[in-house]
Amino acid sequence: MLYPDFRPFVPPIGESKVAGVSSHEHAARLKKAERIISIFGDWKKLLQEPFKGVTTDGNVIPNLFPLKPEEAPVEPAAKAADTLIRLLSPEDKARAYFEVTSKQWRNWQNTEIYVEKHGLRLDEIAEPTRDAIMDVVRASISTRGHEKVLEVMRLNRVLGDLVGGRSVMNEWSYLFCLFGAPSTVSPWGWQLFGHHLALNCLFIGDQMVLSPTFMGAEPNWADEGPFKGLHAFQDEERKGLDLMRSLSDNQQSVALIANSMLGGDLPGDRRQVADGLHLGGAYQDNRIVPYEGLTGDNLSMRQQKSLLDLVKEYMIALPPGPLNERMEKIERHLADTHFCWIGSRAENEPFYYRIQSPVILIEFDHHTGVYLTNSEPANFHVHTLTRTPNGNDYGIDLIRQHYETAGHHRHDQHDGSA
């Protein structure tokens, strides 16, 4: 695929809303804007709801996620987390260290607006602590997953440089939290989030959950500077388009929700102010997302293989053992996996797709400009999202089972006041 040109949409030097201001000044200014007040107000209300999980009809399907060993790298991850904890001051711990059952798991968002009072901001802490945080991330996920995380962080720096706002958007403008005491037996985990990135990683023994996961970029490639040649989300875009174009006319008519991503035949309430066409974004932990589109049992064997190959791109941050377990579970629900599409099927034109089953929710979306000036969706602004529906985002269903079946009911974790 050709690289879509974002250069015509870079605002003139000094005209960006982040040009020359600090992250705190930028947040203070935007918190007074009516649109931001509305978005963050809605998010606050959603955070107060008891967690249920994403469902298709408001009812959680039980017994989908059993406790079982899967060779997750819990030992090196716990060791790295212990090393990090030894570097934290009491003030750091109070800000960023919570019970594993804490509601703070759900208090993440993917904008550049720095409003959080919790978490350690990587561009505001000492370099040894920052390095120790990234060691926890590296020890927990796959090599390719770690590379993708760094790609997103570096492209955030690319955007900050393009619009003169590196204090707001840079390689380290992300927040990190720990949940629970690092252990090879009891539940614990961590969270990293900020502009175009959210990772939620939970360990229970050598089992792990890595969701919700949000990754994106504006632009999704760099044409100059220290990261020249970096290009993210090519596989998710290419394989999604190839799958849609492999469908027959009849299959496409079932998968297609709308030809237009803006107006036209797109339902009027489908596009969200904060999320574009995404349905499972920040604070949407309990969203009802009915199935749409073509089911896996209406695909040929080759198309089913292509669908699973596409899904694997979104699971690739999982280490080998958890990756195999996750893909086996997804494949067991292949017949009831739904694939839907909005937008163009032509090369280098924008689109949205969703893959959804009882055990997975995946979304891909081309967006309008936020800091670039394109008023319509463009291929150089990408959002991707992965959730575990029916109650196991953040591993919450596994945590519940662990404490129900363990021989004790004490919580082996810090409460954030340590």
What is the residue extent of each domain of the chain?
Answer: 1-418
CA nearest neighbour of 6 among 154, 157, 163, 149: 163
Q: Does the pLDDT value for residue 95 go beyond 60? A: yes
What pLDDT is recorded for position 409? 45
114-129 pLDDT, tens digit per residue, is 999 999 999 999 999 9
pTM of the entire structure?
0.96
| pLDDT at residue 2, rounded to an integer | 64
Residue 107 has pLDDT above 50, yes or no: yes
| Nearest to 311, CA basis, from 361, 379, 380, 367 | 361
24 pLDDT above the threshold of 80: yes
Note whether 123 and 172 are within 8 A (CB): yes
Residue 411: its pLDDT value, please? Answer: 45
What distance in Å separates the CA atoms of residue 130 and residue 414, rounded to the nearest whole number?
21
Give bridge partners of residue 323 from the DSSP assignment: none
Residue-level length of the chain: 418
- The average confidence (pLDDT) of the chain is 95
User: What pLDDT sits at residue 274?
Assistant: 87
Span 29-43, average pLDDT: 96
Using the predicted structure, report yes or no on whether residue 132 has a pLDDT greater than 70: yes
Percent of the chain with pLDDT over 70: 97
pLDDT at residue 54, rounded to an integer: 98
